[in-house]
Amino acid sequence: MRVGLQCKIDSLTRHVSAIIAAGGRGLRFGSDQPKQLAALAGRPILQRSVEAFLDSDVITEIVVALPPDLAAEPPAYLKRTSKPLTIVEGGGRRQDSVRYAFDRVSRHAQVIVIHDAARPLVTDAVIRRTVDAAFDTGAAIAALRASDTVKRANAEGRIVETLPRDEIYLAQTPQAFRVDVLRDALTIPGDATDEAALAEQAGHAVQLVNGDPWNLKITTPDDLALAERLLGASAAVPAIRIGNGYDLHRLVDGRPLILGGVTIPFEKGLMGHSDADVICHAVTDAVLGAAGAGDIGRHFPDTDAAWKDANSIDLLRRAVAIVGAAGFTVINVDVVVIAQRPKLAPHVEAIRTRVADALGCEPSQISVKGKTNEGVDSIGAGESIAAHAVALLVRSRTPVGERP
């Protein structure tokens, strides 16, 4: 088959689609859940792999192939993302999952990057090298030159020959292909361990680019333990961080009462520059504080007209983006709301859902409790409402722009 025309397209006009292959069960991992859901330093392997491509500015969109049951009810971190993300059901074989995902990429795609979800430590530098080479040559894979002497053996375990190690490379992902090259590759019948092998069979040359020794594939629990150690060795700060937040606002006539992003029927509302949502403000301070990233007043000062009447759920999302760029993810939040009136209990579940959505986690990771102040001070007199919040964060990946 013909080799596609070699060209280099200016990065500003590039449309690169990423396929995350996560359709398997990882039976060799020996777990009762899909391997890609196993936690690596507090964050699922799948989430880490997907976020590596969300964070890369060379990627335009993402398609994730999942087992059917997981595709039907995907994790929360795949539902609200900074780039277009499509979920498809995977197939019985890797190339089936890739083919189903290929059918869902944008018609504007020029290069498609394929990455194993089981390689959660991939860096932006490796992604970028592979994409650039695919634009130049049509097909490229990340790979490592063999550093050990390589032997080929027979079925009985006896050496048949010694291979020249300077010609041996260990294939990794990402693997990137111009659309026409991948289309050709996916027409090849039979099984293959990666798309590069199919592209070779289809008559296309595949370029090698430098991989990364840390870009290991997690196949067994021992691999997971090694990845944990690599992440631990790279962290300049403790893996677990705790922050607390507090906010109080006066109740006044003529304002809606908004708590945790939920409008609550009441004759008064909270006074403030924004919507004065004390729950969101306390949680925002707790999240920022845990990451050592300042507080709500630093990022969204009440002296700035841009935040006048701002939606505090939106401010909380912005705070999560700030700590996410620093390599942190929210594990859980506990909130205590102190109000004489109104009763919070009828609204707790709605508040938990709204706050969890802003934080990118499940409602089960959010606790909201209501207390009165037993008639003491301005809260007890029904003149104000306060909230305390505690947030637990983990340093779960390398900050954007840094190598693990």
- Between the alpha carbon of residue 195 and those of residues 102, 141, 158, 169, the distances in Å are 12, 9, 30, 16
User: Residue 396 above 70 pLDDT?
Assistant: no
The string of pLDDT tens digits covering residues 177-216 is 999 999 999 999 878 889 999 999 999 999 999 999 999 9
pLDDT reported for residue 30? 58
pLDDT reported for residue 10? 46
Contact 48, 397 (CB under 8 A): yes
pLDDT reported for residue 142? 96
Token couple for 188? 């090849």
Per-residue confidence band for 351, with pLDDT thresholds at 50, 70 and 90: very high
Q: Which region among 119-123, 129-133, 398-402 has the lowest average model confidence (pLDDT)?
A: 398-402
Please give the single-letter amino acid code of residue 46: L
Sign of CA dihedral 125, 128, 129, 130: positive
Contact 383, 250 (CB under 8 A): yes
CA-only gyration radius of the chain, Å: 25
- Contact partners, residue 83, CB within 8 Å, separation at least 6: 54, 59, 60, 61, 62
The model's pTM? 0.64
What is the fold of 240-395?
60s Ribosomal Protein L30; Chain: A; (3.30.1330)
58 three-state secondary structure:
coil
The secondary element (H helix, E strand) that includes residue 350 is helix 348-359
pLDDT reported for residue 41? 80
* 3-state helix vs strand vs coil in the chain, percent to 5: 35, 25, 40
Q: How far apart are CA 231 and CA 215, in angstroms?
A: 12
Please identify, in words, the CATH class of the domain defined by 11-234. alpha beta
In the chain, what percentage of residues exceed pLDDT 70?
91
Q: How far apart are CA 269 and CA 347, in angstroms?
A: 16
* Maximum average pLDDT range among 12-26, 111-125, 184-198: 111-125
Domain ranges for the chain: 11-234, 240-395
User: Residue 97 above 60 pLDDT?
Assistant: yes
